[in-house]
Amino acid sequence: MAVILLRTVLMYGVILLAVRLMGKRQVSQLQNSELVVTLLLSELAVLPIQEEEKPLWVGQAPMAALVACELLVSVLMLKSGRFRQLVCGSPTVVIERGQVLQKAMRHLRLTTEDLFEQLRQKGVFYLEDVAWAIVETNGMLSVIRRPEEEPVTPKELGLSPASQGLEVVVISDGELSLRSLGLCGKDQAWVRRRLQERGLGQEQVFLMTVRTDGKWRVIEKKYGHGAGQVKRQRYV
């Protein structure tokens, strides 16, 4: 049992490293080649765990080969558009100038229910609001609304609102992020002064954010009844 547990922990670390090398993507954003490699990695990781008589390299060597192949394929896709199209395919238009392209949907085996589900996920609830809809190579739907259905922007109203800057999390559940402090141009002494103004210690902070324009806010930790409720905090 101890051997199985040790092998499980080791293979877990190997898979984490392999996925990290492959890059940061959500499962829904994986290309075909990445999905295949991910499935094969999970299968190979089980071999040395289930069969104790086999050495770890029996699973690790093929995993390393798969990751190397995936990295090579990724580089080739960056260098060659034709190769990328061969591996990943091309985006497919399913709604063109407000008209649903039934042939394209049949080719993708995309049902009308699937189409409307993805439209709702994009905040579109009426088909007549859509000018163009494109199924990307990762299966996600990109939507362009009709011009008259697009939200009005400050530019169209002749307004020039001030930029609010980037908001970063500098303290999360009592943990300070030095990297986030660097992004907003602050230091630990500045954070301590702001917390002292509120009579708080770092360990008492549930969330502290700072914007690059200098504004900040703090949400104190709550315990007991209502701990999961977060009130809207004003920026200072």
Buried b or exposed e, range 88-123, using 16+ CB within 10 angstroms: beeebebbeeeeeeeebbeebebeeeebeebbeeee
* Domain closes at, from 63, 86, 109: 86
16 belongs to a structural domain: yes
At residue 229 the predicted structure's pLDDT band, cuts being 50, 70 and 90, is very low
Please measure the distance between the N-terminal and C-terminal CA atoms of the chain and give it in whole angstroms. 56
Residues 100 and 60 in one domain: no
**99 in a structural domain:** yes
Query: Do residues 16 and 82 share a domain?
Result: yes
Dihedral over Cα of 129, 135, 138, 144: its sign:
negative
Judge whether 73 and 87 are in contact, CB under 8 Å. Answer: yes
In this prediction, residues 168-188 reach a mean pLDDT of 90
Say whether both 59 and 30 belong to one domain.
yes
Alpha-carbon gap, residue 150 to 129, rounded angstroms: 9
Q: Residue 26 pLDDT more than 60? A: no
Q: Is the per-residue pLDDT at 147 higher than 70?
A: yes
In a domain, 199, yes or no: yes
pLDDT computed for residue 236 by the predictor: 63
User: In the predicted model, is pLDDT for residue 191 greater than 90?
Assistant: yes
Average model confidence (pLDDT) for the chain?
A: 81
pLDDT of residue 30: 62
E strands present in 106-166: 130-135, 141-145
Higher pLDDT, 51 or 130: 130
The answer to whether residue 111 scores a pLDDT higher than 50 is yes
The separation between CA 139 and the C-alpha centre of its own chain, rounded to angstroms, equals: 15
Asked if 144 and 108 sit in the same domain, the reply is: yes
- With contact defined as beta carbons under 8 Å apart, do 100 and 94 qualify? yes
Number of compact structural domains in the chain: 3
Domain extent, residue 41, equals 2-86
> In this structure, what CATH number is given to the domain that contains residue 192?
3.30.240.20
Residues 128 and 198 grouped into a single domain: no
82 and 97 fall within a common domain: no
Mean per-residue pLDDT for 99-125?
Answer: 92
Give the rounded percent of residues in the chain with a pLDDT score beyond 70: 84
Kindly tell me if the per-residue pLDDT of 3 is higher than 70: no
State the pLDDT at residue 25. Answer: 53
Residue 56 CB contacts under 8 Å (≥ 6 apart), including other chains = 7, 10, 11, 48
Please answer whether residues 66 and 40 qualify as being in contact, where contact means their C-beta atoms are separated by less than 8 angstroms: yes
Is residue 231 situated within a structural domain? Answer: no
